Amino acid sequence: MVKLSIVQFTPLWANKTQNLERIASLIRGLESDIIVLPELCTTGYSFLKKTEALDEAEDTSGKSIAFFREAAVAKKAMIIAGFAERDRENVYNSAVAALPDGSVKIYRKTHLFFKETLCFEPGNSGFYVIEHPLVDCKVGMMVCNDWRYPEAARSLALLGADLIACPSNLVSTLWGVGMPARALENKVYLAVANRCGTEIRMLEDGADQKLTFNGGSVVYDFNGSPLVKAASDEDAVLTSLIDPVLTRDKHFNAYNDLIKDRRPDQYYLG
Amino acid sequence: MVKLSIVQFTPLWANKTQNLERIASLIRGLESDIIVLPELCTTGYSFLKKTEALDEAEDTSGKSIAFFREAAVAKKAMIIAGFAERDRENVYNSAVAALPDGSVKIYRKTHLFFKETLCFEPGNSGFYVIEHPLVDCKVGMMVCNDWRYPEAARSLALLGADLIACPSNLVSTLWGVGMPARALENKVYLAVANRCGTEIRMLEDGADQKLTFNGGSVVYDFNGSPLVKAASDEDAVLTSLIDPVLTRDKHFNAYNDLIKDRRPDQYYLG
């Protein structure tokens, strides 16, 4: 069995120091094999233009990555967290997987949402799967709005993911319809670490943009049923035990295998 | 607006005459543009081997198709219903779309479920969309277990479906997780006409196979919310008004278009 934790909290906008302190406090004493944190959890979410995102973004030598790397080594855990990634003059809405051996892998969000399209480049990392070096679990990453596109989770499942980790900053409640389907249709566990709280930014016309993130962080089992579920508006650290091996036989009865029954020659996915 | 009806009832196994009489009675007086009936609704479901299916199956000159064709012409409606289709020595779990001009289109179920794999050939019609000749609505068909594979509904949406009609004989309740996601992730209406009732067949070892179909026929709007919903265990004819035009702009906010935002070059769907 693998011990999986999801962390929900309220990052402060453009305050990396306090956010990293808050994360350190939340995961202190946590002994889990995998820890998933929200999207953009070291910077906050509400960037309105690219220059703002560039100001907060960092490459893999930055202090967010250093923090997660150190924590992963110290805890012998895989830590997955969203951060604003700078690569020369480009910014990506990325997730890092920091591994207990001190290495890091980066996933760049494929499907940008709303005004992210003004600030970030569409991700170009593609989908891939990471083998946890200490426990038998293959982990794939997607970020928030990727839930809406079944191709994201499907890609990860076809690549062999047992668990999809999904750092999120969700504002619409429609994800409650789509996320459990991603787990069920792929027979994988799905860990959604959402943030909570409200961010208010002033727009150029003087009006306010107010975004409330709806928490409810959840781990779905491979039938799409919640194993743990946070409240909508409170910080939370929730832990569940999952058995990744159970996701590998894709039969859902004696006659049907979810992956082998696919009929790519009959699909129109142009 | 388009008037859409779904019909839920309990077909009798291997009793085409009584099933067609029951269907005639259920749709008598119904004035809808589109009527969707369950999977295998003229034969019942529980075929245990191919010879049984061959005995009940019929080609497009058979009496089920004649019945639906006549009803479609008389009602100026598109009628979609599941039937066992014979094509020489092959049997398919098919759906017919009978059009008001007397023509018929056939869809052959792509993803067979459970012991259907012993009786039917996997469908080879592919997915396609039919323009209703009398109202502005593009309709695609899938059948029951096709819900489990997001590629089915995605194919229909990419081909331009406003509405997916899904004749069904559902026995597991997991479809309640997957079906609404199909509507939401594609911004299409989805009409699920399920059957109800129980079929008991004796197996070769003398044991009984008892299948209870769970009804709950439903029309989902393009956010995955039910517009109408039947009980689990009662015959029902439910009608809703849908506006197919609303499904064609795939934006879900000012910055995102559900179809244009897809990133096929980033997917691994091998």
Instruction: For residue B159, give Cα distances in angstroms to A270, B139, B248.
Output: 9, 10, 11
Contact, B75 vs B30, CB < 8 A?
yes
Chain A residues close to B152, C-beta within 8 Å: 267
- Residue A158 at interface with chain B, using a CB cutoff of 8 Å: yes
Tell me: pLDDT of B26 over 90: yes
Q: Is the Cβ pair B263, A148 closer than 8 Å?
A: no
Among the options A109, A137, A187, A199, which is catalytic?
A109
Q: Which residues of B39-70 are buried (b: 16+ CB within 10 A; e: fewer)?
A: bbbbbbbbbeebebbeebbbebebebbebbbe
Q: Which residues of A touch B178 (CB under 8 A)?
A: 181, 184-185, 224
- Catalytic residue list of B: 39, 109, 144
Number of alpha carbons in the 13 Å side-chain half-sphere of residue A8: 27
Chain B contact for A88, CB < 8 A?
Answer: no
Closest to A244 in 3D by CA, of A145, A142, A141, A139: A139
Q: How many CB atoms lie within 10 A of CB A74?
A: 10
- The predicted structure's pLDDT at residue A40: 98
pLDDT tens digit sequence for B132-167: 999 999 999 999 999 999 999 999 999 999 999 999
Is pLDDT of B73 > 90?
yes
Tell me the average pLDDT of chain A: 97
With CB atoms and an 8 Å threshold, state whether B266 touches A177. no
A218-267 tens-digit pLDDT: 999 999 999 999 999 999 999 999 999 999 999 999 999 999 999 999 99
On whether the CB atoms of residues A99 and A134 are closer than 8 A, the answer is: no
CB contact at 8 A, B142 and B107: yes
Q: What is the pLDDT of residue A208?
A: 95
Q: Is A180 within 8 Å of chain B by CB?
A: yes
Pairing of strands A104-108, B2-8: unpaired
Tell me: pLDDT of B60 over 90.
Answer: yes
Residue of chain B minimizing CA distance to A122: B263
Residues with Cβ within 8 Å of residue A120, at least 6 apart in sequence: A47, A50, A53, A84, A91, A92, A93, A109, A112
In chain A, % of residues over pLDDT 70: 100
Instruction: Locate A76 and state its tokens.
Output: 């012998």
Chain A contact for B255, CB < 8 A? yes
Element (H, E) at B193: strand B189-193
DSSP letter string over A189-230? Answer: EEEEE--EEEEEEE-TTS-EEEEEEE---EEE-TTS-EEEE-
Q: Is B260 exposed, middle or buried (0-12, 13-18, 19+ CB in 10 A)?
A: exposed
Q: How confident is the model at residue A270 (pLDDT cuts 50, 70, 90)?
A: confident
- Enter the tokens of residue B101: 């001009």
**Quick check: B264 contacting A, CB < 8 Å?**
yes
pLDDT digits (tens, 9 = 90+) for B213-264: 999 999 999 999 999 999 999 999 999 999 999 999 999 999 999 999 999 9
Strand A189-193 and strand A163-167: pairing?
parallel
Alpha-helix runs per DSSP H in A97-209: 116-119, 150-158, 175-186
Q: Do the beta carbons of residue A7 and residue A22 sit within 8 Å?
A: no
What is the strand order of the sheet A104-108 is part of? Answer: A104-108, A90-98, A78-87, A34-36, A2-8, A236-242
Residues 6+ apart with CB under 8 A from B265: none
Per CB-CB distance under 8 Å, the chain A contacts of B110 are 263, 266
Rounded Cα–Cα distance for residues B270 and B264 (Å): 12
Q: How many other CB atoms sit within 10 Å of the CB of residue B117?
A: 15
Place of tokens 């089992």: A221
**So what's the pLDDT on residue B81?**
98
Task: Indicate whether B270 pLDDT > 90.
Answer: no
Q: Are A96 and A81 in contact (CB under 8 A)?
A: yes
Cα-trace Rg, chain A? 18
Would you state the structure tokens that stand for residue B196, as one six-digit string? 């109800």
Q: Backbone phi, then psi, for A32, in 5-degree steps? A: -130, 155
Q: Quick check: A161 pLDDT over 90?
A: yes
The count of domains in chain A is 1
Residue type, B31: E
* Residues A212, A106: Cα–Cα separation, whole Å: 27
Which residues constitute the domain of residue B141?
2-266
**Closest partner residue to A181 among B177, B263, B266, by Cβ?**
B177
The CATH number of residue B190's host domain is: 3.60.110.10
A128, A157 Cβ separation under 8 angstroms:
no
Whole-angstrom Cα distance, residue B57 to residue B93? 9
Compute CA B107 distance to the chain's CA centroid, rounded to the nearest angstrom.
9
- Name the residue of chain A whose CA is nearest to B117's CA: A255
ipTM: 0.96
pLDDT for A109-145, tens place per residue? Answer: 999 999 999 999 999 999 999 999 999 999 999 999 9
A231 shares contact with chain B (CB less than 8 Å): no
* pLDDT of the residue at B264: 97
pLDDT score of A60 more than 90? yes
Structure tokens at B259: 């179809």
CA distance B228 to B216: 9
